[in-house]
Amino acid sequence: MQKYLPILTWGRHYNKAAFSSDIIAALIVTIMLIPQSLAYALLAGLPPQAGLYASIAPIILYTIFGTSRALAVGPVAVISLMTAATLGNIVEQGAMGYAIAALTLAFLSGVILLAMGVFKLGFLANFLSHPVIAGFITASGVIIATSQLKNIFGVDASGHNLLELVVSLFEHLGEINWITFVLGASTTAFLFWVRKGMKPMLRARGLTAGAADVATKAGPVLAVVVTTLVVWAFDLSAKGVKIVGDVPQSLPPLTMPDVSMNLMTLLFVPALLISIIGFVESISVAQTLAAKKRQRIDPNQELIGLGAANVGAAFTGGFPVTGGFSRSVVNFDAGAETPAAGAFTAVGLAIAALALTPLIFFLPKATLAATIIVAVLSLVDFSILKRSWGYSKADFFAVLTTIVLTLGMGVEVGVTAGVILSIFLHLHKTTKPHIAEVGLVPNTQHFRNTLRHDVQTVPHVLSLRIDESLYFANAKFLEDYLYDRVAGDTPIKHVVLMGSAINEVDLSALESLEAINERLDAMGVKLHFSEIKGPVMDRLKREHFLDDLTGQVFLCQYDAYVTLK
């Protein structure tokens, strides 16, 4: 039970010191999450209260099933954008079915994550390479920031990609509400200053580091309070400033997703993409924070924790959620000791949903847009292009393609292309494995590449080190390489395949090795192996290959060298 309910592990050791730390962290994170949750609901195309709802039950469920002590689960920018992009193609925003479709998307995402966790499929996320993820998040950040400019300008604009958004904004430039623009632009500037300049200023005025840090985290709340008061005091809503308006004063309602086959079919692929992206983002944050305290994260149990959180969101009026980078770092830095900090945060947000929602009636949407813009621009990092160009042209091509397709065709196309490119690049790299001819380093028993080192070789012995596992995609390449190499070198009487880097030989590769053995034998050349790993040898012994082998299997390459020279 402890394996599937991590709360039973840390809960039995819970004490007053941990409670005190968790309460303080929860207070800080709650202050931060109130405006952020409202903003991300706006980004997803949902009523603001959906952001609060999506931050209550999911956090509690993750507290029970998750393994990270610091991860804070809830709405995040990229997943909210993917939600809006998905639902925008199915249901018109603002229609009655839009919120139900969001619930269903969360439910389907939760079921996929749970299934991946139960069947231990967390490795599937590895097919999305980090450079591709970085490119996707960078492009998504640009799209998100651009999509919120309509709320800063106070105009109606729409679009699913950067080009559509920019064109739509230019078409409505003549309709700018200048009061909204002043509010939005000044709030954006203030929030950028809060991130960079507020803490140093407070420290210079004598505040302690802890107090200055809390005040900095509360900066967005201050922006919400001030702009709401300004709109209320000067009745700016009557002058065209768009406000949040009525927000239900209640705890999350009990809701039911639509499990009709038609809708589930339309949402399955987007839900799968959201699940993978959300898991990759969440697990990377969780592992980074856990490493700082030498704690352990179980990726498969994390899938279960995130799956439960999304199912919880589906039944409580929310939308897809995952572990957020900024809130998790704040939770960690604030001193959270256990996942109970998340549960306390959920209590704080529940209180806000019950008691504070009437106070945000006059909250301008421009303020929420400013909150989103400042949050997502910190994710934009075009330096990944320069870094990948200098390190690997293949990775650069993958990153560039992901960025261009995401910006030009939308997030779904971008992330799908990223997944396909990641898999293609892996297959491409392994279809042509590095094969090195090796020789003996003088006065040692070590063997190195003849092109890189001054080594000793024997003319009638060809020693090859294969730096990749052998499987169906690269077996033919090995065949062709060997035939071409041996055919033009008549002194060769022995070929030794050094298997120190071979971790797997599948059936297709075994058949290729059988063909190589027969073909070399016809040429009067014997085939040998050295340094074959135990698991690989165990599998080879299941077939008759070793019985038909014309040469020997040596424990180490040096034994082969001495015996055959």
Q: Catalogue all structural domains in the chain, each as residue range(s) with its CATH number.
A: 7-424 (no CATH), 435-564 (3.30.750.24)
Q: What percent of the chain has pLDDT over 90?
A: 45
* Of 44, 49, 62, the residue nearest 7 (C-alpha): 62
Q: What is the pLDDT of residues 4-50, one digit of tens each?
A: 788 887 778 888 888 888 898 888 888 778 888 888 998 898 998 99
Query: Which pTM was predicted?
Result: 0.80
Q: Is 546 or 392 the better-scoring residue by pLDDT?
A: 546
pLDDT for the residue numbered 94: 63
Please identify which residue in the block is written with the tokens 């709650």: 30
* Of 86, 30, 99, the residue nearest 313 (C-alpha): 99
Q: How far apart are CA 481 and CA 437, in angstroms?
A: 12
Q: How far apart are CA 373 and CA 34, in angstroms?
A: 16
| HEC letters along 190-243 | HHHHHHHHHHHHHHHCCCCHHHHHHHHHCHHHHHHHHHHHHHHHCCHHHHCCCE
- Residue 3: is its pLDDT beyond 80? no
Q: How far apart are CA 105 and CA 90, in angstroms?
A: 12
What are the two backbone dihedrals, phi and then psi, of residue 485, each rounded to the nearest 5 degrees?
-70, -40
294-303, 444-453, 534-543, range with the lowest pLDDT: 294-303
Q: What percent of the chain has pLDDT over 70?
A: 99
Residue 556 Cα distances to 110, 463, 531, 532, 560, angstroms: 50, 12, 5, 8, 7
For the chain, give the longest Cα–Cα distance: 96
pLDDT for the residue numbered 434: 92
Tokens read off for 460: 């009638």
Tokens read off for 497: 């395949």
* Burial class of residue 248, CB neighbours in 10 A (0-12, 13-18, 19+): middle
Q: What is the pLDDT of residues 78-92, one digit of tens each?
A: 899 889 888 988 887
- Residue 59: is its pLDDT beyond 80? yes
Query: How many CB atoms sit inside 10 A of residue 118's CB?
Result: 13
Q: Quick one: which H or E segment has residue 529?
A: strand 526-530
Q: What is the pLDDT of residues 338-361, one digit of tens each?
A: 888 989 999 999 998 888 888 888
CB 474 within 8 A of CB 441: no
Q: How far apart are CA 355 and CA 312, in angstroms?
A: 22
